[in-house]
C-alpha cells in the first residue's frame, strides 16, 4: 500500500458514522435522533498560564478526523448528516496564536456535511434540532458539561455510543491502516537511527533523544506512548520509565518506542547489543524470542483464536529454554504448571489504532489462569484488525526468585544454569500486523535480524 497516496484523501469520518449508527440500531432498533460528541477543551497547567499538551478525544476524532480543540459534532441519524462546530475567531487571540481554521478550510479538509462556528447558545441549537424530530434520543459519550442540557430530547443514552465506537474501531479501513503504516515507517527509521548511535552513547536519555528527533524531523511530533529505553537488567521491567541510566557495562538495550501519525499509533520494540555484538547468552535468548515471533506471525489470519497464538508462544519458549538447560523436566508438565509465565508474564499483544492499547480487545483481567490473565485481546481476530505481536523472555528477579521458592514450579528450573542469564535482562521483539483473510501483513520494517543489527551497529 502506498501510504502517502491513500492519505491524500480525507479521513473517512462519514463512513465511520454510518458504521456506528448501524451498530447502534442493532442494539436499539429504530434509533432516531443525534450523536453528540465533544472534542477536548484547552486546559491550563495548574497554577500556570501555559496550556497543557493537547490530546484529542479519540471518540470525537473517529467521527470527524478533526484535531481541533473546543469543538463538537452533531450527527443527525435520520438525515445521515454530520455538522462540525468549531471555535469562532477571537480577535484578541489572533495576535498571540495566529488565525484559527476557518469554516471554509474545515469544510474542505474534513469529511463532514456542514461546518459552522460554535453558536453562543449551544443548548438553543440542540433544542431546535430536537424540535424537528419525533421522540428523539441523544447518544453521547464522556462526561457532558453541566451547561449542556439536551432539552427537548425524549431520551438520553450515554452508554451505547461508546460501545459502538469501541467495537467499530477494532476493524480498520484502508485509510486507518495507511495511518498506522505511515507511523510505522517513521518509527522504523527512528529505530534504525538509534542502532547507528548506540555504541557511541553514554546514557539511555541520549538514545531517547535520537528517537524523538528522528520522529519530529519526519513530521510526527507526538509519540503514541512514553518511550521505553531500558539498558541491561532494566529491560526486565516491562514498562521501564527512567530512561536516564548510564550504558557502561550493560549488554543490551531494549527500545520500545513508536510515534503517532494524525492520532494513529505505532508500537515497535527491538532489543540489540550495545557493543555491536551479542553475548553468547544474549544471542541464545534473542534467537528463541525471534522464533516465537516468527512462528506466531505465521499462524495469523482472520478467525484465529488469539489465546491459541499466545499459547504457541509459550510452547516455543519452553522448548527453547529446555534446550538451553534453564528449564528441565517434561515440557507438558512445565506448561501446565505455568512455570513459563515467570519468563513471559504479559500477553502476546494488543489491538493497535488510535490508542496504543486500542479498543475492542475484551480483556479479562479477572481470569484465574495466570497464563491468560494479562491478555489484552481475547477471542478470534477479525479481518483488517491491527494487532501487535510482541513475545519476550525476561529475567526479572522479582518474578523468578519467588518461583524458585515454590516447590511445584522450582523443580522445573535449573538455578545454576539460570545464573548465567540474569545480565541479559530482557528481550522483546514487537511488530504491528494487519490481519487478512488468509494471513497477515507486517507494517513494521525496523531491522530485527540479529546479524544485520550487529552489522548496522558495528559499521555505524
For 207-227, the DSSP string reads HHHHHHHHHHHTT--SBSS--
Query: Given this model, what pLDDT does residue 118 score?
Result: 94
Query: Given this model, what pLDDT does residue 145 score?
Result: 87
Say whether pLDDT at 143 is over 90: no
C-alpha cell at 261: 501519525
Say whether pLDDT at 142 is over 80: no
Residue 366, judged by CB atoms within 10 A of its CB (0-12, 13-18, 19+), counts as: exposed
Cβ neighbours for 9, distance < 8 A, ≥ 6 positions apart = 175
C-alpha cell at 135: 421522540
C-alpha cell at 50: 501555559
Cβ atoms within 10 Å of 104's Cβ, excluding its own: 9
Query: Given this model, what pLDDT does residue 222 score?
Result: 97
For residue range 282-326, what is the model confidence (pLDDT) as tens digits? 999 999 999 999 999 999 999 999 999 999 999 999 999 999 999
Tell me what the mean pLDDT of segment 107-114 comes to: 98
Whether the Cβ atoms of residue 114 and residue 83 lie closer than 8 Å to each other? yes
Whether the Cβ atoms of residue 425 and residue 240 lie closer than 8 Å to each other? no
Query: Given this model, what pLDDT does residue 252 score?
Result: 98
Report the alpha-carbon distance of residue 156 to residue 401 in Å, rounded: 53
Amino acid at each position: 500500500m502506498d501510504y502517502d497516496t491513500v492519505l491524500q484523501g480525507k479521513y473517512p469520518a462519514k463512513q465511520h458514522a454510518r458504521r456506528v449508527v448501524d451498530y447502534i440500531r442493532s442494539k436499539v432498533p429504530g434509533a432516531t435522533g443525534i450523536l453528540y460528541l465533544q472534542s477536548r477543551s484547552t486546559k491550563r497547567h495548574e497554577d500556570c498560564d501555559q496550556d497543557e499538551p493537547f490530546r484529542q478525544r479519540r471518540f470525537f476524532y473517529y467521527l470527524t478526523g478533526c484535531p481541533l480543540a473546543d469543538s463538537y459534532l452533531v450527527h443527525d441519524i435520520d438525515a445521515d448528516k454530520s455538522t462540525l462546530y468549531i471555535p469562532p475567531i477571537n480577535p484578541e487571540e489572533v495576535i498571540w496564536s495566529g488565525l484559527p481554521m476557518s469554516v471554509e478550510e474545515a469544510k474542505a479538509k474534513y469529511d463532514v456535511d456542514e461546518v459552522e462556528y460554535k453558536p453562543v447558545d449551544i443548548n438553543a441549537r440542540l433544542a431546535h434540532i430536537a424540535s424537528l424530530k419525533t421522540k428523539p434520543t441523544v447518544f453521547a459519550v464522556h462526561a457532558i458539561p453541566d451547561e449542556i442540557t439536551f432539552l427537548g430530547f425524549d431520551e438520553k443514552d450515554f452508554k451505547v455510543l461508546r460501545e459502538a465506537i469501541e467495537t467499530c474501531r477494532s476493524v480498520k479501513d484502508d485509510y486507518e491502516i495507511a495511518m498506522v503504516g505511515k507511523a510505522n515507517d517513521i518509527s522504523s527509521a527512528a529505530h534504525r537511527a538509534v542502532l547507528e548511535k548506540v555504541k557511541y552513547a553514554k546514557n539511555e536519555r541520549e538514545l531517547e533523544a535520537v528517537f524523538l528527533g528522528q520522529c519530529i524531523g519526519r513530521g510526527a511530533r507526538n509519540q503514541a506512548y512514553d518511550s521505553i529505553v531500558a539498558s541491561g537488567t532494566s529491560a526486565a521491567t516491562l514498562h521501564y520509565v527512567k530512561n536516564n541510566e548510564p550504558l557502561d557495562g550493560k549488554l543490551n538495550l531494549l527500545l520500545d518506542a513508536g510515534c503517532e501519525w494524525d492520532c494513529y499509533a505505532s508500537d515497535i520494540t527491538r532489543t540489540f547489543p550495545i557493543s555491536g555484538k551479542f553475548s553468547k547468552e544474549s544471542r541464545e535468548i534473542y534467537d528463541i524470542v525471534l522464533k516465537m515471533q516468527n512462528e506466531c506471525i505465521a499462524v495469523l489470519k482472520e478467525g484465529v483464536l488469539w489465546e491459541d497464538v499466545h499459547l504457541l508462544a509459550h510452547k516455543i519458549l519452553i522448548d527453547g529454554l529446555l534446550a538451553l538447560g534453564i528449564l528441565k523436566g517434561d515440557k507438558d508438565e512445565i506448561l501446565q504448571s505455568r512455570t513459563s509465565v515467570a519468563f513471559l508474564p504479559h500477553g502476546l499483544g494488543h489491538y493497535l489504532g488510535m490508542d496504543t492499547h486500542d479498543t475492542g480487545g475484551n480483556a479479562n483481567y479477572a481470569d484465574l489462569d495466570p497464563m491468560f490473565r494479562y491478555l489484552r485481546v481475547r477471542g478470534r481476530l477479525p479481518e483488517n484488525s491491527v494487532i501487535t505481536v510482541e513475545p519476550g523472555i525476561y529475567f526479572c528477579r522479582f518474578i523468578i526468585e519467588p518461583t524458585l521458592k515454590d516447590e511445584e514450579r522450582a523443580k522445573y528450573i535449573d538455578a545454576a544454569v539460570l545464573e548465567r542469564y540474569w545480565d541479559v535482562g530482557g528481550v522483546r521483539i514487537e511488530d504491528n500486523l494487519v490481519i487478512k483473510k488468509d494471513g497477515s501483513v507486517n507494517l513494521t520494517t525496523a531491522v530485527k535480524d540479529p546479524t544485520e543489527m550487529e552489522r548496522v551497529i558495528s559499521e555505524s
